[in-house]
Chain A
Amino acid sequence: MAFKIKEVSAFYGGKQAVKNVSLAIQARSVTAIIGPSGCGKSTFIRCLNRMNDLVPQFRLEGEILYNGTNIYSRDLDITEVRRRIGMVFQKPNPFPKSIYENAAYGLRIQGISKKGTLDKVVEESLKKAALWEEVRDRLHASALALSGGQQQRLCIARAIATQPEVILFDEPCSALDPIATAKVEDLITALKKEYTVIIVTHNMQQAARVSDVTGFFMMGELIEFDITQKIFTAPSNKLTEDYITGRFG
């Protein structure tokens, strides 16, 4: 088990966004989190790399164990948590720098500046993100000149470059067109050989296509958590069935 989440509740000030969620996530698998807007799925995934710590007045109850260690324990280095648990965001957010510098930044902040090492890692991560062929001859051009889909794959390469064990995807395709979406989905499927992938998505077909396990959230609660195939063919909860058949949401 990569993650063991025990009775986690998350609050923004007085407002509770996640209610008493417990689940376990397998290493080297794709876990999808689905649910209607405002159901707490983004809040939940942002708890896993402590991104929510950036929000003033955020508070978490319960335990999130990663490889047996509570990532919210006081003596843990938060930057180390985030390095090992990478994240790709909803809107592509490359730095306003070159493609190369985007991919290399994760290493630079660790103090690695040897050109040979950086070159190698940049190339490897761009290859893993299926972007290398498209950008190899313009690595030092601005990342902002890339298309939206390319930018998102660059963000994936950037996350891969720090050699994380987990990659969190927070609705990674919601700003992309269908072709770019298909590329990112292929990539996610390929990534699960080496990484634990957790993806939040609005798109149920996407969850069905890419994930092994699916969790359905509603009003901050985890309604159902099971093998993807079972969730989409024979859900055991009425709410899940109503949602996946499009009766609400």
Chain B
Amino acid sequence: MDRKVFNKWSNRIFYILGLLATLIGLAVLVALLLDVLSDGLGRLGWQFLTSYPSRRPQEAGILSAWVGTVWIMLLTGLLALPVGIMAAIHMEEYGKKNWLTNLIEINIANLAGVPSIIYGLLGLGLFVRAMQLDRSIIAGAATLAILVMPIVIMSAREALRAIPSSIREASYALGATKWQTIWHQVIPAAMPGIMTGIILAMSRAVGETAPLITIGALTYVAFLPTSPISSEFPFFSIQGLFDPFTVLPIQIFNWVSRPQKGFFADAAAGIIVLLMITFAMNGLAVWIRHRHQKKIRW
């Protein structure tokens, strides 16, 4: 075979191999989706979203689970984002390059790869036992906050680093202080990137099961956390933070392990809801990034 023919064929074969590899991933995803949809779509409905779990599969629902998920997500965000973003700003803008910052950087990069169950054990020891928060929403949110913090820090740093130095120079040259430059120019310009990272980190947190089971989230919850709005003075309550809770993935996990066939459909319907939340969050991240790219070209 002469060289030309060989090159032509090797190119063609490689193309087909690449296409197959891509299709395998896609096919698995489509198969999963179809399977879940065919199992669960029938159960999805208003009743499913507004009912507590029950021992009768037809009457069971995910009310306590999705409310718990919303609580946990909001609190995780509230705890992880300010600390994570400020840490990123410090490391990127203020931190001097020395062995200490190097050590911290390596640590954070490693933390992002630690299995989530380890965070669960940390949460159990630190929040549930040592701080005596018990199996409460706040303990769960604090655990997840620690879990997503490295991801938030790393993506925020990435976004800050992407802001060209010419923007900083322009600001300094007008007589801006370091604080003004960071606050007025660097952070707003980096905001879409930071937001994208945050949403991706949160969409990871929304599906976490292991750490919450480890700290003892309940699997059968037939009540909601105390509402944050109360009818009496001072019209809000933080009692809900200390209530026990469950979240969607735990509810799904519980149903999957039940022997009755009906709970299988419940689990599939729960998965559909969880998938929709994740897709919506990822979609939002993609949209923000896309809109940003169209608007700004450095």
Binding site for B on A (CB under 8 A): 49, 51, 54, 56, 79-83, 86-87, 89, 91, 93-97, 105-106, 108-110, 142, 144, 155, 158-159, 162
Report A-chain residues with C-beta under 8 Å of the C-beta of B185.
95
Report B-chain residues with C-beta under 8 Å of the C-beta of A106.
174-175
CB pair A96 B184 closer than 8 Å: no
A56, A93, A105, A144: which contacts B297 (Cβ < 8 A)? A144
CB pair A86 B189 closer than 8 Å: no
Least CB distance from A188 to B in Å reads 17
Closest A-chain residue to B166, C-beta based? A93
CB pair B173 A159 closer than 8 Å: yes
- Determine the distance from Cα of A86 to Cα of B173 in the docked complex, in whole angstroms: 6
Tell me, yes or no, whether B171 is within 8 Å of chain A by CB.
yes
CB pair A89 B170 closer than 8 Å: yes
> In the complex, how many residues of chain B place their beta carbon closer than 8 angstroms to a beta carbon of chain A?
22
CB pair A109 B184 closer than 8 Å: yes
Given A91-B166, A93-B166, A109-B180: A51 and B173 interface contact (C-beta under 8 Å): yes
Within 8 A of A (CB), among B134-183: 164, 166-177, 180
Report B-chain residues with C-beta under 8 Å of the C-beta of A109.
171, 174-177, 180, 184
A82, A89, A91, A96: which contacts B175 (Cβ < 8 A)? A82
Closest A-chain residue to B181, C-beta based? A109
- Determine the distance from Cα of A22 to Cα of B224 in the docked complex, in whole angstroms: 77
Report B-chain residues with C-beta under 8 Å of the C-beta of A159.
173-174
Least CB distance from A245 to B in Å reads 34
Least CB distance from A57 to B in Å reads 11
CB pair B167 A110 closer than 8 Å: no
- Nearest first, the 8 A-B pairs at minimum CB distance are A83-B175, A93-B166, A87-B173, A106-B174, A79-B175, A82-B175, A93-B170, A109-B176
Report B-chain residues with C-beta under 8 Å of the C-beta of A86.
173-174
Closest B-chain residue to A108, C-beta based? B184
Tell me, yes or no, whether B296 is within 8 Å of chain A by CB.
yes
Contact with A along B78-107 (1 / 0, CB 8 A): 000000000000000000010000000000
- Determine the distance from Cα of A130 to Cα of B189 in the docked complex, in whole angstroms: 28
Given A79-B177, A86-B174: A51 and B184 interface contact (C-beta under 8 Å): no
Report B-chain residues with C-beta under 8 Å of the C-beta of A96.
167, 188-189, 295-296
Sample (9) of A-B pairs whose CB atoms are under 8 Å apart: A54-B168, A54-B169, A82-B172, A83-B175, A86-B173, A96-B189, A96-B295, A108-B184, A158-B174
Least CB distance from B287 to A in Å reads 18
Given A105-B184, A142-B295, A144-B295: A79 and B167 interface contact (C-beta under 8 Å): no
Within 8 A of A (CB), among B182-206: 184-185, 188-189
Least CB distance from B92 to A in Å reads 14
CB pair A83 B172 closer than 8 Å: no
Report B-chain residues with C-beta under 8 Å of the C-beta of A105.
171, 174, 176, 184
Closest A-chain residue to B168, C-beta based? A54
CB pair B184 A93 closer than 8 Å: no
Report B-chain residues with C-beta under 8 Å of the C-beta of A155.
170
Closest B-chain residue to A91, C-beta based? B166
Report A-chain residues with C-beta under 8 Å of the C-beta of B167.
93, 95-96
Report A-chain residues with C-beta under 8 Å of the C-beta of B184.
105, 108-109
Report A-chain residues with C-beta under 8 Å of the C-beta of B180.
109
Least CB distance from B178 to A in Å reads 9
CB pair A89 B174 closer than 8 Å: no
CB pair A49 B174 closer than 8 Å: no
Least CB distance from B63 to A in Å reads 44
Closest A-chain residue to B97, C-beta based? A56
- Determine the distance from Cα of A129 to Cα of B280 in the docked complex, in whole angstroms: 47
- Determine the distance from Cα of A56 to Cα of B95 in the docked complex, in whole angstroms: 12
Given A109-B184, A144-B297: A79 and B166 interface contact (C-beta under 8 Å): no
- Determine the distance from Cα of A106 to Cα of B184 in the docked complex, in whole angstroms: 11
- Determine the distance from Cα of A96 to Cα of B293 in the docked complex, in whole angstroms: 12
Given A96-B189, A109-B180: A82 and B166 interface contact (C-beta under 8 Å): no
Contact with A along B266-298 (1 / 0, CB 8 A): 000000000000000000000000000001110
Closest A-chain residue to B96, C-beta based? A56
Report B-chain residues with C-beta under 8 Å of the C-beta of A79.
175-177
Report B-chain residues with C-beta under 8 Å of the C-beta of A80.
175
Given A83-B175, A87-B173, A95-B185, 17 more pairs with CB closer than 8 A: A54-B169, A79-B175, A82-B172, A86-B174, A89-B173, A91-B166, A93-B164, A93-B167, A95-B170, A96-B296, A105-B171, A105-B176, A109-B174, A144-B295, A144-B297, A158-B174, A159-B174
- Determine the distance from Cα of A109 to Cα of B167 in the docked complex, in whole angstroms: 15
- Determine the distance from Cα of A144 to Cα of B174 in the docked complex, in whole angstroms: 19
Least CB distance from B126 to A in Å reads 38
